[in-house]
């Protein structure tokens, strides 16, 4: 069969006709779309589809494609798995050939944050976590820069700290671990990682999901500007802002231009953001899985919509979760019922507000008052929209909004209080917010879980669902509650932190590993579910624990604190003031009961 006809037929079979004039996930016929990718991935040569698309070509793409076509002709377009495996071995190098291990030059043995940790066992653990940065350091080989066309990796000049496990390249929102690196005193490493991101924004217009070309049409939660803010707060390197403010603004505008929708409520129009992939076709890194799961759909259009929802969920960072299921206006169903593009997420919009606030402050610092005013106005408009559309007094929380059914998504997620983390609420109403939020958390009964705050309360089998607990979500809840300054919210933040640190420590003591996710129901249990095996490492897990040990290390102990004081003393300490509400006391008592049930792990 003529190759052009073959490609056309295949694209029709896959439902990849370029609807809405959208491109494939990248321009590469090797790594992102086309007959070679389809043939290799559907043969299931490797258990994980990501394995193949991370391999390096031994020769230029046109020669690789020619070798593939010769194999197809030779086998009458029906090669066996062994023939495909032989083709790969002849034309590709093993995954990981683009990197070399890198020992961070700014790593030192005794960072200052260790001094704050009073418990000797936690201090030893923190030292080991600090050591782990060295094992997660990667530097790209010069050959990648010289022959980018042979790789799926996106070249960056500065070394990076990778998440760990199967994730050997940088990932966008995982890189919020820069806060942990700053605690380790690794400011040069952080600056290099930020400079990598800024170069990528200049090249792509935004930061892709991860450092591979097949991620080039989707992003992740936009945390570059907050990461830069953390770096500047730590180093006072204000010149970094001046040199890079235009690129920071460029990334923000990408979200405003490509990810916003207008919603009308009570005759007034509001602009808010959603996640939305900008390409067609299955995810190359999960090609076979996506293609097979799409078999339940009959038409090409339905399959293409499904592929779009999968990639959009990946852009959210929550891949996958019942948070995105929409079936008969509920969160029931399964992965084929995902409607991420029709959901306005609380956390994304809280982060957009935060970005606008920081940009306003930076432009003011640089003396550009018109720009500062412009971004302050954007922040105020966003705050108004988030409050009007996502805050619900009767629930006591912010809730995702389902555009397709014009209704709130009244289900528990830690992200429901993300505006506390980013400051996206009216400060003059803080007491009202806090009172309702604490009652909401009490009703959700999340504190009865021994290992952490669950991601949702739905048992779907997906990895961003119950019973899994994820480090960034613990962090968002803890930081948000603590930042309010309210003593009851701060006490609850401490309890969540204490539980999370103790559970992570128990798991590490038993396995000498940090995991990307944990089991909220079991003290020291690590999570499961999803498309791949639970990964070890793990960059953001380490970073969150280091921040919590820095924040609370003067009080946290491996031994259960409630064993060291009478039960009545604990209760009275939590309910001293007459202003304590029943919900606040009950929330504290639930946490106390859970901790007592867990017992000591020393």
Catalytic residue ranges? 319, 516
Question: Can you tell me the distance from the alpha carbon of 262 to that of 264, in angstroms, rounded to the nearest whole number?
Answer: 7
Round to whole Å and give the CA distance between 173 and 193. Answer: 12
Cα–Cα separations (whole angstroms), residue 75 to 37, 79, 80, 87, 322: 17, 5, 8, 12, 43
Q: Are 453 and 477 in contact (CB under 8 A)?
A: yes
User: Do residues 481 and 420 lie in contact, with contact meaning Cβ atoms separated by under 8 Å?
Assistant: yes
How is residue 303 written in tokens? Answer: 């399959």
- Give the Å distances, CA to CA, from 399 to 223, 316, 407, 413, 587: 21, 16, 10, 9, 21
Cβ contact 272:344 at 8 Å: yes
> Using alpha carbons only, what angle is made at residue 288 by residues 78 and 333, rounded to the nearest 5 degrees?
140
Nearest alpha-carbon partner for 163 in 124, 205, 211? 211
CB atoms within 10 A of CB 586: 16
DSSP conformation class of 446:
G
Dist. CA 460–CA 442, nearest whole Å: 23
C-alpha gyration radius of the chain: 25
Alpha-carbon distance 505 to 438, whole Å?
A: 27
Sign of CA dihedral 53, 58, 59, 60: positive
Q: Token pair for residue 2?
A: 């003529």
Residue appearing with tokens 């779009």: 308
User: Across the chain, how many H-helices and E-strands are there?
Assistant: 22, 14
Q: How far apart are CA 281 and CA 216, in angstroms?
A: 13
Token digits for 10? 């295949």
- Residue among 153, 232, 156 at smallest CA distance from 190: 232
Q: Tell me the two tokens of residue 104.
A: 């961070």
Token couple for 315: 């852009």
DSSP for 256-294, please give it: HHHSEEEEEETTEEEEEE------BS--GGGHHHHHHHG
Q: How far apart, in whole angstroms, are the C-alpha atoms of residue 501 and residue 547? A: 10
**Closest residue by Cα to residue 480 from 518, 453, 456, 507:** 453
Contact call for residues 206 and 273 (beta carbons, < 8 A): no
82/511 Cα distance (integer angstroms): 37
- Return d(Cα 314, Cα 328) in angstroms, integer: 23
């Amino acid at each position: 069969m003529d190759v052009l006809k073959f490609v056309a037929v295949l694209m029709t079979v896959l439902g990849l006709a370029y609807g809405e004039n959208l491109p494939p996930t990248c321009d590469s016929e090797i790594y992102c779309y086309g007959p070679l990718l389809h043939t290799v991935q559907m043969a299931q040569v490797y258990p994980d589809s990501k394995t193949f698309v991370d391999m390096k070509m031994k020769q230029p793409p046109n020669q690789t494609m020619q070798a593939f076509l010769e194999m197809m002709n030779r086998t009458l377009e029906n090669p066996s798995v062994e023939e495909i495996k032989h083709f790969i071995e002849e034309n590709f190098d093993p995954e990981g050939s683009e990197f070399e291990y890198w020992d961070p030059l700014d790593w030192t043995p005794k960072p200052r944050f260790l001094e704050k940790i009073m418990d000797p066992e936690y201090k030893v653990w923190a030292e080991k976590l600090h050591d782990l940065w060295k094992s997660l350091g990667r530097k790209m080989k010069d050959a990648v820069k010289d022959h980018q066309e042979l790789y799926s990796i996106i070249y960056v000049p500065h070394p990076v700290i990778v998440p760990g496990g199967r994730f050997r390249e940088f990932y966008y929102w995982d890189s919020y671990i820069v806060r942990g690196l700053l605690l380790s005193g690794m400011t040069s490493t952080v600056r290099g990682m930020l400079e990598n991101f800024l170069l990528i924004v200049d090249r792509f217009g935004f930061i892709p999901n991860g450092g591979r070309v097949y991620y080039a049409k989707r992003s992740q939660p936009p945390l570059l500007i907050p990461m830069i803010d953390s770096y500047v707060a730590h180093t006072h390197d204000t010149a970094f802002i001046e040199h890079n403010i235009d690129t920071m603004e460029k990334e923000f505008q990408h979200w405003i231009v490509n990810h916003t929708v207008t919603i009308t409520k009570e005759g007034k129009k509001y602009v808010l953001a959603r996640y939305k992939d900008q390409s067609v076709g299955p995810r190359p890194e999960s090609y076979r899985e996506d293609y097979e799961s799409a078999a339940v759909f009959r038409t090409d259009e339905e399959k293409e919509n499904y592929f779009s929802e999968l990639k959009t969920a990946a852009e959210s960072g929550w891949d996958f979760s019942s948070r995105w299921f929409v079936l008969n206006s509920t969160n029931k169903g399964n992965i084929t019922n995902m409607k991420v593009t029709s959901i306005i997420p609380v956390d994304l919009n809280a982060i957009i507000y935060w970005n606008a606030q920081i940009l306003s402050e930076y432009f003011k610092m640089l003396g550009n008052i018109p720009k500062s005013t412009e971004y302050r106005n954007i922040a105020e408009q966003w705050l108004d929209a988030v409050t009007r559309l996502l805050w619900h007094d009767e629930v006591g929380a912010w809730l995702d909004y389902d555009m397709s059914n014009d209704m709130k998504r009244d289900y528990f997620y830690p992200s429901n209080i993300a505006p506390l983390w980013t400051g996206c609420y009216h400060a003059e109403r803080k007491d009202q917010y806090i009172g309702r939020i604490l009652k909401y958390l009490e009703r959700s009964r999340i504190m009865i879980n021994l290992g952490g705050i669950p991601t949702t309360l739905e048992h779907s089998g997906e990895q961003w669902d119950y019973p899994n607990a994820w480090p960034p979500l613990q962090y968002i809840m803890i930081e948000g509650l603590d930042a309010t300054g309210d003593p009851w919210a701060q006490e609850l933040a401490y309890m969540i932190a204490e539980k999370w640190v103790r559970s992570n420590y128990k798991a590490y003591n038993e396995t000498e590993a940090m995991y990307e996710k944990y089991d909220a129901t079991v003290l020291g249990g690590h999570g499961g579910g999803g498309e791949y095996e639970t990964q070890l490492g793990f960059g953001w897990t380490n970073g969150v624990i280091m921040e919590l040990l820095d924040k609370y290390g003067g009080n946290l102990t491996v031994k259960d604190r409630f064993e060291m004081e009478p039960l009545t003393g604990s209760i009275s300490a939590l309910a001293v003031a007459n202003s304590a509400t029943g919900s606040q006391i009950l929330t504290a008592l639930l946490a106390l009961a859970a901790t007592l049930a867990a017992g000591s792990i020393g």
